[in-house]
Structure 1
Amino acid sequence: MSAQLMGGWTGGKIPAGQHCQLQGGKGGTPPMRVSGVPAGATWIVAQFNDKSYQPLSRNGGHGTIAFPVRGAVTDLPAVPGMTKTLPGGAQVMAAAKSTGAYASPGYLPPCSGGRNNRYSVDLKAVDKAGKVLAEIKDFTIGRY
C-alpha cells in the first residue's frame, strides 16, 4: 500500500490556512490517494499525529478518522477539523487527545503555532472485522 498527498499538500510546509482555529486557520485533513488497498478492506483508518509534541505524537493524538474504501485506489477527501460531523461517509473513530482550548471532537488541525512541528499520519486498511490488512506508518503530511 502507498499514499500520495493531494490538494496542495506536499509533505513540506502545511498549506496556508490548514492550521487550527485557535491560530486563525480553518484546517481539515489533507486529501490523499491510497493505492494498493488490499481486497477485503472496507475502511482506511487514519491516525493523525504531531511527532514533535510527545503527548499527541502517537495513536491518533490529533484524531482518528475512518474513510470508506472505494477500491484498490481510494481517494481520502479532506474533511473538516474541530467537528464530529464529516462528509462522504467518513467517521470519527477517536477524537483528538488534546485538552482545554485545544480540545476537538474529531481531527485537530496542526496547532503548534508555527514552530515547525512535524505532522504525520498512520494509515491502516482494515476489513469489516477490524483486522489490519496493510498499513503505512509515520507518513509525513507536513510541518507547521
Structure 2
Amino acid sequence: MKWILSAALALLLSTPAMAGDFTAGLAAPWNGKTIPKGAQCGQQGGSGLTPPIVLSGLPKGTVAVLVEYDDRDYRPLSSGGGHGILLYPVKGSSATLPQVPEMTAKLPHGVRVYKPSRASGKFKTPGFIGPCSGGRHNMYTATIKPIDGQGQVLGKVKIKLGRY
C-alpha cells in the first residue's frame, strides 16, 4: 500500500501544470523537485540559465508568453516576478521556451526583459536572476501567462522549478 501511495504521489508531482487545455512542464534536466546541479545563480557558481519550459494548448491568439520567476521562500522575491519577468515570443499552440542567461537585459531568441529582478546589492540585475538561496532548500516557481497582441492575459499556469 505504501508503495502505491508513493507511486501515485510521484505521478502527480511529474504531471505538467494545466489551465484548461494550456499546460506547462519542464524539460530535462529540470524535474520540479530540485534545481539541477550548476543551474543556480552565477554568484554561487552556477550557470544561471532559465529552465527550458514546454508549453502546449496555448490559447488561440497567443503571440507571447510572460514568465514570472519567484523564490517562494524568500518573501521579498516570492511573488510577482521577484527573480524577474521575461517575455518570450511564441507562435502556434505549442512552444518550448529556450534557456536564456541571467544578469543581463540582452537576451537571445527574441526574449525580452519585461521587469527585472527585484534583488538588491550584489544580486541586483537588469534582468532575470537564477536560484540564489545558497542551498537553503528554497522552492523556486514560474508563473506562465500567455498574452495576445493587445497584451491581454489569456491564461495562467504556475509550476514548481525545484528546491535549491
Q: Offset at 1:70? A: 2.1
For residues 135 and 57 of structure 1, the distance between their equivalents in structure 2, rounded to whole angstroms, comes to 17
Q: Offset at 1:7? A: 3.0
Q: Offset at 1:22? A: 1.3
For residue 128 of structure 2, the aligned residue among 88, 101, 107 is 107
- Helix, strand or coil at the partner of 2:140: strand
Q: Offset at 1:69? A: 1.2
Paired residue type of 1:143: R
RMSD: 0.8
- Helix, strand or coil at the partner of 2:43: helix
Matched, 1:141 2:154: no
What does residue 102 of structure 2 align with?
A: 81
Unmatched tracts of structure 2, length 5 or more: 1-21
- Helix, strand or coil at the partner of 2:155: strand
Residue by residue, what CA displacement relative to the aligned partner does 1:19-40 show, whole Å, maximum 9, x if unpaired?
A: 1111111211100111110111
TM, length-normalised to structure 1: 0.97
For residues 35 and 93 of structure 1, the distance between their equivalents in structure 2, rounded to whole angstroms, comes to 22
TM, length-normalised to structure 2: 0.85
4+ long deviations beyond 3 Å: none
What does residue 71 of structure 1 align with?
A: 92
Unmatched tracts of structure 1, length 5 or more: none
What does residue 40 of structure 2 align with?
A: 19
**Aligned residues between the structures:** 143
The answer to which structure has the higher strand fraction is 1
Greater radius of gyration (CA): 2
